[in-house]
Amino acid sequence: MEADKRLKKFNLKVLKTIGQGTYGSDSANEVKILASMCHPNIIKFFNCHYVDNHVLICMEYATNGNLAEFMYQKCPKLIKQEEILFYYCQVLLGVNYIHQLDIIHRDLKAENILLTGKNGVLVKIGDFGISKMLASAKKTSTVIGTPYYLAPELCEGKPYDTKSDIWALGCLLYEMCTHRRAFDSESLIGLVKVITSGSVVPIDSAVYERGIQDLIDSMLSVLPDKRPTIKEVIGRKVLLPMIYTVYLDAGEDQLLNSKVAQYRL
């Protein structure tokens, strides 16, 4: 294939190829979205090349894997609240940025939260392949994303907006606090049933303060209108001290490392 020859010539490795597969038909979507964004907690876009009906995207490489690997491989035991919030608040700042641009990520999950910098303390949201710009239409209805993080309105085929990302953020925080999915089942039908019930087992109150549980409950409200906006999430009392910390040190690897070292003592 011509693309293979050109890659070998320049000693390049394809990390992201778009043009075939489930979401590949809209090959310009991720390029358009990535090129429009610039934020310390969003994976950087450098360039793209069109080769043999494929789009080869050159983007920032996250050197320390993703949040799922960190949780399940590097931290087999429950993570301290301060360290969870250190990572989670960086995610929130990234989501706040994309929501300000009227973009829904639509696939927020631990695997798409990338870690980079020294010791992997800098959080970058990645994989915008199925993101959608709200633009003129404030709600969309295409069912897309990771099943375990799907919001109830998506399961029911109803229109959705940025509140579906808030649901996914609730699922993410729950998973970070428990090392298990908020909603799980052996079948898709069973998964839809538990998701639409909105019922989850509480997190460990001996490890995490009540404000964390309250935040999770609000984000996992079955009714989208009952869920907070990303700005309301960021403004929660339980998060504000850490929000200020990661905001002031955003993208500063050395400063972030000095902070997380304190939480791991």
Residue numbers of the chain with a pLDDT score lower than 50: 1, 7-14, 20-25, 130-131, 133, 135-137, 141, 143
Q: Left if phi > 0, otherwise alpha if psi is -120 to 50, otherwise beta: which for 251?
A: left
pTM score above 0.95 = no
What pLDDT does 243 receive?
A: 93
CB 183 within 8 A of CB 191: yes
For 161-187, the DSSP string reads -THHHHHHHHHHHHHHHHSS-SS--SS
Active-site residue flag, 225: no
For the chain, give every residue range classified as CATH 3.30.200.20. Answer: 12-59
Residue 200: C-alpha distances to residues 25, 175, 196, 213 (Å): 36, 11, 11, 11
CB 183 within 8 A of CB 167: no
Choosing from 107, 161, 165, 249, the catalytic residue is 107
CA distance 17 to 30: 11
DSSP 72: I
Instruction: Name the token pair of 160.
Output: 């959705």
Instruction: Name the token pair of 140.
Output: 């969309």
72, 150, 136, 140: which is closest to 108 by C-alpha? 150
Question: Residue 137 burial (CB < 10 Å; 0-12/13-18/19+)?
Answer: exposed
Sheet holding 54-59, edge to edge: 17-18, 54-59, 45-51
DSSP 153: H
What pLDDT does 29 receive?
A: 64
For the chain, give every residue range classified as CATH 1.10.510.10. Answer: 67-263
> What CATH architecture applies to the domain 12-59?
2-Layer Sandwich (3.30)
CA distance 11 to 18: 19
Helix and strand counts by DSSP (H, E) for the chain:
11, 7
- The fold of 67-263 is Transferase(Phosphotransferase); domain 1 (1.10.510)
What pLDDT does 260 receive?
A: 64
What pLDDT does 137 receive?
A: 45
CA distance 261 to 78: 17
